[in-house]
């Protein structure tokens, strides 16, 4: 892979990190003898023309400070509001794959068979192939059976909460119905503002949605009939939350792959497409950014990342990337070295770290996560803070000098934390729960509270079988700085 393609591929990998930080307020530099606080970040140095200077630094230029993490009993410096979604009634719908006219076509692909040893333990399972196993369940048992929708997540705007709902089917990995509800948190009234139901078992929605730009974005794909190329028609629909207008923001026929939507800390929405090339044994990755002016998604050119990266990375291996505040950041491994550099159009800084992901970055600081260790580089103070964050969580989001840490979509219940990195002060702002999909909205933080449901079904012969599990969003937490 040539250098341009390598850079572009790494840029697309940034989608796993685009939701990891929020804008900080413009803060003035502190005096050297001022104690470290959450407001310690200062303005980035500028030259006489007002243009930010490109700087190059090494890890040895920073003073390393070990910061112990202390779980505080005091009240956190944030306000938390919880919106309870558990009492909202969701209607039932019959998915197209459960309808009688489609069962025979579908049953051959989606019956599950299991084999047992002499002690009655499952030793193997097959999917869609009857090779002597005992059927786990029979798809015929689900003819015209309605499915209850499950809340996947939401978006709060004022007193209204917009809720995304999916209707899961058994073991198929597909979704044939979804909808968006408008929930008035004051009156408790619910209105369906968007509903989609597939009329063809070859067309499904992708389990990925994003709220942004006062809209909801959803992905769908449909088989084209060209089985040799295994191609799909990929479509992104944009639903205006105010007018309820539905617009096709992207549509293209391309090989089967996987795709998902992400957003960043300044409101941009991205469409991420990934496919595997059997010939080259490599992944092909592309990222598209929603163009608000034209109302569609446009592919991001690698030159939009920065000229400085192109100039400095001719022999560097790009390990990971991220996109914050409309700027591209890359962790690179220089040729012949083990330790990573972080590069953007403002700086190139060497670190002492050999493997990490970017938690957050801007002109004043950057945060790297390496196993259980959090590394905070304060460029203004030329200090490197090292914290052990083991057990606090795996999802991170930076906002106004505070790092919010959640369990992520793991199924494990953990507290929600607010950490002031330079002080090592961690506050519990949410009790044990499953937290996921943390994002920046309306000057604050939003995160879903979830619980896992195991779904069982009764077969026609009276046996009860486990079919699948999924996480259900039962609350949304809004987190703001205290006035």
C-alpha R_g of the chain: 25
| Cα four-point dihedral sign 43, 48, 49, 53 | negative
Tokens matching residue 342: 């972080």
- The SS3 call for residue 97 is helix
Answer whether CATH 2.130.10 is correct for domain 3-99+144-481: yes
Query: Could you count the other beta carbons within 10 Å of the beta carbon of residue 391?
Result: 10
pLDDT at 129 over 50: yes
Q: Which pLDDT band, with edges at 50, 70 and 90, does 460 fall under?
A: low
Quick one: pLDDT at residue 307? 42
Q: What is the pTM of this model?
A: 0.81
Q: How far is CA 162 from CA 12, 22, 152, 293, in A?
A: 29, 21, 11, 24
Q: Which pLDDT band, with edges at 50, 70 and 90, does 53 fall under?
A: confident
Quick one: pLDDT at residue 30? 37
Tell me the mean pLDDT in the region 326-341.
90
Residue 328 or residue 353, greater confidence: 353
Quick one: pLDDT at residue 23? 54
Q: Which pLDDT band, with edges at 50, 70 and 90, does 386 fall under?
A: very high
Tell which residue, 107, 102, 101, has the closest CA to residue 201: 102
Tell me the mean pLDDT in the region 378-395.
95
Q: Which pLDDT band, with edges at 50, 70 and 90, does 480 fall under?
A: very high
pLDDT at 40 over 80: no
- Are 169 and 176 within 8 A, CB to CB? yes
pLDDT at 3 over 60: no
415: left (phi over 0), alpha (psi -120 to 50) or beta: beta
Chain segment 192-239, per-residue pLDDT in tens: 999 999 998 889 998 889 998 899 999 999 988 766 667 889 999 999
Query: Could you count the other beta carbons within 10 Å of the beta carbon of residue 442?
Result: 12
Residue 13 or residue 345, greater confidence: 345
Tell me the C-alpha distance between 423 and 220, whole Å: 46
- Are 123 and 443 within 8 A, CB to CB? no
Instruction: Report the chain's terminal Cα–Cα distance, integer Å.
Output: 52
Contacts of 92 (CB under 8 A, 6+ apart): 146, 147, 148, 149
Tell me the C-alpha distance between 73 and 425, whole Å: 10
Chain segment 334-363, per-residue pLDDT in tens: 988 899 999 999 999 999 999 999 999 999
Tell me the C-alpha distance between 329 and 318, whole Å: 11
Chain segment 137-174, per-residue pLDDT in tens: 677 778 898 988 999 999 999 999 999 999 987 655 57
Tell me the mean pLDDT in the region 98-104.
86
DSSP 342-362: EE-SSEEEE-S-SS-EEEEE-
> Could you tell me whether strands 444-458 and 425-441 are parallel, antiparallel, or unpaired per DSSP bridges?
antiparallel
Domain boundaries, the chain: 3-99+144-481, 100-143
- Helix or strand holding residue 6 (H, E): helix 3-13
Chain segment 269-324, per-residue pLDDT in tens: 999 888 776 666 667 778 899 998 899 999 885 434 444 444 444 568 888 888 88
Backbone φ, ψ for residue 56 (5° rounding): -125, 125
Burial per residue of 446-481, b for 16 or more beta-carbon CB atoms within 10 angstroms, e otherwise: bbbbbeeeeeebeeeeeeeeebeeebebbbbbbbeb
The sheet carrying 317-324 orders its strands as: 55-57, 347-350, 341-343, 327-333, 317-324
Q: Write down the residue that tokens 């909202």 correspond to.
A: 88
pLDDT at 128 over 70: no
Quick one: pLDDT at residue 356? 93
Q: Which long-range contacts (CB under 8 A, 24 or more apart) does 327-334 make?
A: 327/361, 327/362, 328/11, 328/14, 328/304, 329/14, 329/358, 329/361, 329/366, 330/7, 330/10, 330/11, 330/305, 331/356, 331/357, 331/358, 331/368
Quick one: pLDDT at residue 140? 77
Tell me the C-alpha distance between 412 and 419, whole Å: 20
Tokens matching residue 274: 């990934």
Q: Which pLDDT band, with edges at 50, 70 and 90, does 131 fall under?
A: low
Lowest-confidence segment of 22-31, 187-196, 235-244 by average pLDDT? 22-31
Residue 337 or residue 51, greater confidence: 337
Tell me the C-alpha distance between 41 and 38, whole Å: 8
């Amino acid at each position: 892979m040539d250098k341009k393609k390598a850079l572009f591929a790494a840029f697309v990998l940034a989608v796993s990190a685009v939701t990891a930080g929020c804008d900080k307020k413009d803060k003035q530099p502190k005096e050297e003898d001022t104690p470290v606080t959450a407001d310690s970040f200062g303005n980035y140095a500028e030259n006489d023309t007002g243009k930010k200077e490109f700087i190059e630094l090494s890890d040895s230029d920073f003073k390393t400070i070990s910061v112990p993490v202390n779980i505080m009993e005091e009240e956190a410096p944030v306000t938390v509001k919880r919106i309870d979604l558990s009492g909202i009634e969701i209607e039932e719908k019959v998915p197209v794959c459960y309808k009688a006219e489609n069962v025979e076509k579908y049953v051959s692909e989606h019956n599950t068979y299991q084999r047992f040893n002499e002690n009655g333990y499952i030793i193997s399972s097959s999917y869609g192939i009857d090779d002597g196993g005992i059927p786990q369940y029979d798809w015929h048992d689900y003819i015209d059976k309605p499915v209850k929708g499950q809340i996947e997540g939401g978006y709060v705007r004022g007193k209204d909460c917009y809720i995304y709902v999916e209707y899961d089917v058994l073991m198929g990995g597909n979704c044939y119905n979804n909808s968006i509800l408008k929930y008035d948190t004051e009156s408790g009234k619910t209105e369906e503002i968007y509903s989609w139901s597939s009329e063809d078992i070859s067309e499904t929605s992708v389990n990925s949605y994003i709220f942004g730009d006062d809209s909801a974005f959803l992905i769908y794909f449909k088989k084209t009939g060209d089985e040799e190329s295994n191609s799909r028609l990929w479509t992104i629909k944009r639903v205006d939350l105010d007018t309820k207008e539905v617009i096709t923001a992207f549509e293209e026929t391309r090989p089967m792959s996987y795709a998902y939507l992400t957003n960043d800390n300044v409101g941009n929405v991205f469409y991420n497409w990934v496919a595997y090339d059997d010939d080259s044994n490599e992944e092909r990755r592309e990222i598209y950014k929603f163009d608000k002016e034209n109302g569609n998604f446009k592919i991001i050119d690698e030159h939009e990342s920065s000229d400085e990266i192109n100039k400095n990375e001719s022999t560097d291996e790009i390990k990971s990337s991220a996109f914050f505040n409309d700027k591209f950041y890359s962790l690179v491994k220089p040729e012949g070295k083990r330790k990573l550099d972080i590069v953007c159009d403002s700086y190139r800084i060497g670190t002492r770290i050999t493997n990490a992901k970017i938690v957050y970055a801007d002109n004043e600081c950057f945060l790297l996560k390496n196993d259980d260790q959090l590394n905070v580089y304060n460029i203004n103070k030329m200090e490197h803070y090292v914290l052990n964050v083991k057990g606090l969580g795996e999802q991170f989001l930076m906002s106004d000098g505070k790092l919010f840490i959640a369990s992520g979509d793991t199924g494990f219940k953990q507290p929600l934390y607010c950490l002031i990195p330079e002080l090592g002060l961690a506050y519990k702002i949410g009790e044990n729960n499953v937290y996921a999909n943390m994002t920046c909205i309306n000057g604050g933080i939003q995160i879903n509270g979830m619980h896992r449901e195991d779904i069982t079904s009764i077969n026609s012969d009276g046996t009860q079988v486990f079919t699948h599990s999924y996480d259900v969003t039962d609350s949304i937490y809004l987190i703001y700085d205290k006035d």
